[in-house]
Amino acid sequence: MTTDGTLHELDLLVPATGFHAHAYVRPMSIIGERGVTLDEAWADGPLAYRSVALPGFPNLFVLMGPHSPIGQQSLVIIAENQADYAMWWINQICVGRIASAVPTDVATKDYNEKMKPRCHRLFG
Residue range 24-75, pLDDT digits in tens = 777 788 999 999 999 899 888 888 999 999 999 999 999 888 877 766 778 8
Which pLDDT score is estimated for 25?
A: 75
Overall size of the chain counted in residues:
124
pLDDT in tens, 80-117: 999 999 999 999 999 999 999 999 999 999 998 887 77
Alpha helix locations (H) across 50-104?
75-94
Q: Around 109, how many Cα atoms within 13 Å sit in the side-chain half-sphere?
A: 6
pLDDT over 60 (residue 17): no
